[in-house]
Amino acid sequence: MPTNFSRRSFFVSSAALALVSGTAKAAIHDGNLVEMLNKSPIDASARNVFEPRVIVVDPSEAVLFRSTDGGHNTQSMDDLIPAGAPPWKSDIGADVEITFDTSGVYPYVCTPHATAGMVGVIVVKGEGMMDNYEAAKGARYRGRARKVFGEIFDEIDAINLG
């Protein structure tokens, strides 16, 4: 009985399309660029990475995920992003621009490389920005994502977000 699955797929697709079509006018601020890469420019041993893997933005800013190497995408972890924030899932090998209106922490993955550790976090500043932080930090991540998210949350802990 595939009804629920179909509904969910339709919902996610619609949300992603809405995000893509609705954000064309948003400005990309300096630094709000995440490249999707086959190899890390920082760590030669790391393959399949978002670079940078942590970005901090203000509400209503957009982030451009650039498909520099192809074969990758960006997908929100829908149970972990802030309550009420729209989920997203981009096409493999495509640039996508996403605007973040709700303050909070947004863990995301590359769908085919999630357990290989191709993951990242967007932090959207503002009131309530830490409301979902502990839940995101304490979530059970699978495979190499567990190690990389651990490193990412250590990086966020070290940032002065005030």
Binding residues vs Cu ion (CB under 5 A): 48, 72, 110, 113, 118
Residue closer to Cu ion by CB (options 35, 131) is: 35
Burial status of residue 42 (CB atoms within 10 A of its CB: 0-12, 13-18, 19 or more): exposed
Residue closer to Cu ion by CB (options 37, 124) is: 37
CB of 91 to Cu ion, least distance (A): 12
Residue closer to Cu ion by CB (options 48, 103) is: 48
CB of 64 to Cu ion, least distance (A): 16
CB of 130 to Cu ion, least distance (A): 28
For residues 124 and 104, the answer to whether their CB atoms sit within 8 Å is yes
Residue closer to Cu ion by CB (options 48, 76) is: 48
Tokens of 17: 């399309």
The CB-nearest residue to Cu ion is 110
CB of 6 to Cu ion, least distance (A): 26
What kind and span of H or E run contains 25?
none
Residue closer to Cu ion by CB (options 118, 152) is: 118
**3-class DSSP state of 82:** coil
> What is the maximal distance between C-alpha atoms in the chain?
49
Burial status of residue 21 (CB atoms within 10 A of its CB: 0-12, 13-18, 19 or more): exposed
CB of 4 to Cu ion, least distance (A): 27
For residues 93 and 73, the answer to whether their CB atoms sit within 8 Å is yes
